Every structure is written in structure tokens, then in C-alpha cells.
Amino acid sequence: METAAMVWTAAVAAVGLIYWFVWVMGAAEVKGKRAVDLKMGSITRDKVEDKYRQYWSFFRRPKETAEASSENVPVFVDTFYNLVTDIYEWGWGQSFHFSPSIPGRSHRDATRLHEERVVDLVGARPGHRVLDVGCGVGGPMRAIAARSGAHVVGITINEYQVGRARAHNKKSGLDALCEVVCGNFLEMPFPDSSFDGAYSIEATCHAPRLEDVYAEIFRVLKPGALYVSYEWVTTALYRADDPDHVETIHGIERGDALPGLRAHDEIASIARKVGFEVLDERDLARPPAGPWWTRLKMGRIAYWRNHILVSVLTLLRIAPKGVVEVHEMLYETARHLTRGGETGIFTPMDMILCRKPPFAAGHQESSSS
């Protein structure tokens, strides 16, 4: 009788533990995804491992690869987001970016405030049509639309993210204000001078040439409209002759589908080259802002929990083969990002505020040179 009671107790405890791991701790920050729902985007289950290997091979030496075959970068960025979107939603939430930590405030609050800053910077208001360049699954879009009342149009290269963003928009009751389009931000399917404002949050870093995406944004903005971007860049502290610095930056590039990080002092000149007036530029990560990498460091215990979980789900064939490798890649990338933040050689929020001149044409000749 005692043995039976012990077995029964152990069984109940095991079921409770599995439920906690999968349904409670396995959900996204805003209940967007559960571990049992990891699909790897539009990649079929039998192709996930192959696609991961192809991605890793392409971005093993990011700058050299991008320079040799820049036309293939969008394809592999699309592959990257097929591989990571569900994991990002599950473990991070619906906003795929960083934000400065704020004492006494949750990560969710800090993220929302970081996004809502865009509303004031571009002057978004009801009646405006605002472009979100690289919208992901639409976390920032919904925050900005809700705060401003503007109609926000997001573009993402990944078809799977389009479906996720539309589902979230509908669920949040913001589908009337939020529109999502699948497309390449290097060749956007919008007419000239069709937006009252634009923003990009940690997205244009995927462009092989920043001037190409900036030129497209310039083209679709109305004269006098404002554009703000939060850019991933190396800071003035980065030293190209320091092996540790180089490895940290290469680690960030490899694990985030980046064809080479740009230096902080390049951004404004590129914006001016395509015709923008630069109104402001500053690193939003500098003090008194709290460290943006805190959340990554706090996630180490969660990593091991999640690693065990995805390993078990893969073993049980609930999750596709290859998920464990993708999860390990993201953890290793988080280590490099943390190191970049702690040493101060990298920032994901170098903010640049630009304006299309009031009497500007839709496109500058210099942008295509």
C-alpha cells in the first residue's frame, strides 16, 4: 500500500512538472506561443535541420559572405526568421528587440516605453499612415498604433511572420489600425511619397548596404515626413585589432543573420547620402539608461529549462529535428550580445532621427550609386 501511494504521488508530481514546463513556463511572455507549438516558420519538419546548416554555412563569415553574394542575404534572412520566430515568441515575447532596463518596471513595460518613444519622435497621430520597416510579428506596431491612433503598415520579408502578426493584430483588436505586408524592404511595394512617417526598430541591420534600405524609405515618405531608426552598431570603444572584440562582434553577426555590423559614425553620413536631413543621433543605451542586456543574463536559468524541454520534445518528435541546434545558436548569440553590452563595444539602439526635406523628390540619384 505504501509503495502504491509513493508511485501515485510520484506520477502526479511528474505530470504536474511536465504541465509546468510545457504549458506554464513554456508560454511566450504574452501567451503567443507554447513549446509544443514550435513550428520553425514555413519550413517543413523534415527540412529544418538542413535549413539550419545552410544558414550557418552562409553566415559563418558574415562580412566576407555578404560581400561575395549580397543578393542571397535576403533569402537567408528569411530562413533565419523561419528558424527563430517561434522560439523568439516563446521565450522573449512579441517584440523582437531590446530596450533599456528601468528600475522598478517590468521588461514588458520597458519594451512598451521604448516603442512608444517612436510616436513622439515621428509625430504620429490619427489620420497618419506610418511605415514599420521590418515589423516582425508586430509587437512595436501594435504599441505604436494603440498609443498614436495612426494607421501603421508593417513590412516583413517572412511570410510566416505576416500570419503571426495578423493573428496578433486581430486578437488585440487593432487589426483596423495595423496592416502587414510581405516584402523585401530593399524593394518595397509602395508608391512614392505615400507615408506620413516611418520607423525601424533593430531591423535595417539585415541590409547588406544601409543606403539601399534608407533610399527606399526616403522614396516612400512624403516630403517633410520624419523617419527614426534604432540601429545595431559598433561603438567608439570597438577595436578591430582586439581579438576578443572581433570575436564578440562576429558572434553577434553569425547568430543574428547580419551581413556585417556598421560603425556608429557611418549611419548619419549614409542617411545624408540618400537625401535625408539628420535632426538627431544618439545612443539610447548610454547612461542614465539602464543596461539593455540584463534580460539576457537573467535568462540563463530559463535557457537550461528550455534546452531540456526542446530536447525532450524533439526526442518525442513533437518538435522538429534541428530545434535544439537553433536554440543552442541563440543562446551562444546571447552570450556575445551580453559581452558586447558589458564592454560597451556594441549597441542595438543607436537612434537616428531624419527628415525628408519638404521639397524633396521621391528618390535621390546618389542612393543608387
Write the CATH number for 110: 3.40.50.150
Residue scoring higher pLDDT (319 or 280):
280
69 inside domain = yes
Residue range 275-314, pLDDT digits in tens? 999 999 999 999 999 999 998 876 567 777 778 888 888 8
364 inside domain = no
Quickly state the pLDDT bin for 362 (edges 50, 70, 90). low
SS3 197: strand
pLDDT for the residue numbered 297: 78
Given a cut of 60, is residue 144 above it in pLDDT?
Answer: yes
pLDDT for the residue numbered 198: 98
1 inside domain = no
DSSP assignment string, 112-143: HHHHHHHHHHHT--TT-EEEEES-TTSHHHHH
Give the pLDDT mean for 236-265. 97
Q: Structurally, how many domains does the chain consist of?
A: 1
Residue scoring higher pLDDT (56 or 16):
56
The reply to whether the predicted model has a pTM over 0.85 is yes
pLDDT for the residue numbered 69: 73
Quickly state the pLDDT bin for 317 (edges 50, 70, 90). confident
Given a cut of 90, is residue 84 above it in pLDDT?
Answer: yes
CA distance 211 to 273: 8
Residue range(s) defining the domain that contains residue 46:
36-356
23 inside domain = no
With cell 535557457, the residue in question is: 303
Given a cut of 60, is residue 133 above it in pLDDT?
Answer: yes
CA distance 313 to 323: 9
366 inside domain = no
With cell 504574452, the residue in question is: 30
Q: How many CA atoms lie within 13 A of 315 on its CB side?
A: 6
